[in-house]
Structure 1
Amino acid sequence: MRNLPAFTLAGYDKGRGKLVQALWFAVMNTVFMAWFCPAGLRVALLRAFGAKIGDGVLIRHRVRILWPWKLTVGDHTWIGEGAWLLNLEPVTIGAHVCLSQEAMLCTGSHDHRAADFRYRNAPITVADGAWIAARATVLAGVSVGSQSVVAAGTVLHKDLPDLTLHTADGRRPVQEPV
């Protein structure tokens, strides 16, 4: 039986103090996610809070990022409107990656076998050239291979090799462009 009141944050490191966390939440919810915030300012704000962001990165509005200091993004990557990076642990996104609208990268989970429902978090890596399509979800501890595709609306719970398409009905090689 679950004993949810026994849950604690023991062993979890948010990476910054409460003041920085509160400041980030204020900035994220008032400026960063707003439609009127220029994409370049979003990148600058993330860098100011410790994210490592490459050149030519485009971040659309309504993007939520839990902890910028646990985020690395390569050059010329796009993060689409409404994407959610629930990065309790590090998220590393390569170059020329497309995270489409409302895609979710979730590094957090719980140990369903433990009565206290303790955290069971793990980092996520998305390699160069990958595409996480609209409303796709990548779960904790998963690596997405180079040039791979996580199809729209699917959930990826284990590593995806390079050049592989993950769909609701299985995996197959990504076809070369015509």
Structure 2
Amino acid sequence: MKEKVWQIIEKIIEKAALRKKKNDWNFLVSKPNVNIHDSFNSFYNNNIFLLDDSAKITIKEGVNTRKYCEFLVWNEAELIISKNVFFNNSCSINCLEKIEIGEDTLFGENVKLYDHNHLISKTEKISISKDQFSTAPIKIGKNCWIASNVTILKGVTIGNNVVIGAGCLIHKSIPSNTIVKNIQNLQLETNK
């Protein structure tokens, strides 16, 4: 009997959580500067969207995410995701200025995009600002594959048809039709 009561309680909680997610999603897509295609259905995947009121977001047809992706778009910033873009688990986009992603681009797990960096003042003591940033847009071309654990930093333009291998830190622009590899030399020593 106790077990049945707990099952009923769990179902009620699940339905309430789903209803809250749907209400949050409906509130998000009702904002005037949010244009998300009807085919994009991310709220079942535990994704997070944080948008300031003046932020702009466009998500076109065929965009798909796996679980736990974060889309953070701050004051006056703009995020544009073109058709048929795919985000694997745990991707994060943190946008203070502008991030634009071209059609048919694929993101592996745990890819991070930051179009900003904390301001640093170099005097006698290095001081890192918690709430002041330098920004520059990120633009990713069409038909790119950004493999797992890649981080793309502010001011980077990635051309069309680019492959970026796992674990790369991209801090400068990449021309079209390029393959980027993270070459690490593993040093093996015996323990004798």
Give the TM-score of the pair, scaled to structure 1. Answer: 0.65
Answering whether residue 81 of structure 2 is matched by residue 67 of structure 1, we say no
Gaps of 5+ in 2: 1-22, 26-38, 185-192
- 2:41 alignment counterpart: 41
Identical aligned pairs, as a percentage?
A: 23
Q: 1:112 to 1:74 in 2, by over 3 A?
A: same
The one-letter code of the counterpart of 2:139 is T
DSSP 3-state at the match of 2:180: strand
Larger Rg: 2
Q: Which runs of 4+ in 1 moved over 2 A?
A: 39-43, 110-118
- 1:110 alignment counterpart: 118
Alignment of 1:62-141 (within 5 A): 62-67=68-73, 70-113=78-121, 117=129, 118-141=132-155
- 1:147 alignment counterpart: 161
Once residues 95 and 140 of structure 1 are traced to their aligned partners in structure 2, the CA distance between those partners, rounded to angstroms, is 20
DSSP 3-state at the match of 1:147: coil
Once residues 70 and 63 of structure 1 are traced to their aligned partners in structure 2, the CA distance between those partners, rounded to angstroms, is 17
Counterpart contact for 2:40–2:59, Cα < 8 Å: no
Q: Bigger shift: 65-74 or 128-137?
A: 65-74
The one-letter code of the counterpart of 1:82 is S
Shift of 1:50: 4.3
Shift of 1:111: 3.6
Structure with greater proportional strand content: 2
- CA deviation map 1:25-68 (0-9, x unaligned): x948xxxxxxxxxx83228x97x984211111112220001118
Cα RMSD over matched residues? 3.0
The one-letter code of the counterpart of 1:78 is F
Once residues 103 and 164 of structure 1 are traced to their aligned partners in structure 2, the CA distance between those partners, rounded to angstroms, is 19
Gaps of 5+ in 1: 1-25, 29-38, 171-178
Once residues 164 and 120 of structure 2 are traced to their aligned partners in structure 1, the CA distance between those partners, rounded to angstroms, is 26
Once residues 143 and 113 of structure 1 are traced to their aligned partners in structure 2, the CA distance between those partners, rounded to angstroms, is 26
Once residues 66 and 56 of structure 2 are traced to their aligned partners in structure 1, the CA distance between those partners, rounded to angstroms, is 19
The one-letter code of the counterpart of 1:40 is F
Answering whether residue 59 of structure 2 is matched by residue 53 of structure 1, we say yes
- CA deviation map 1:94-126 (0-9, x unaligned): 000001110011111134345564411111010
Once residues 107 and 128 of structure 2 are traced to their aligned partners in structure 1, the CA distance between those partners, rounded to angstroms, is 34
DSSP 3-state at the match of 2:41: helix
Once residues 27 and 132 of structure 1 are traced to their aligned partners in structure 2, the CA distance between those partners, rounded to angstroms, is 30
Once residues 167 and 79 of structure 1 are traced to their aligned partners in structure 2, the CA distance between those partners, rounded to angstroms, is 20
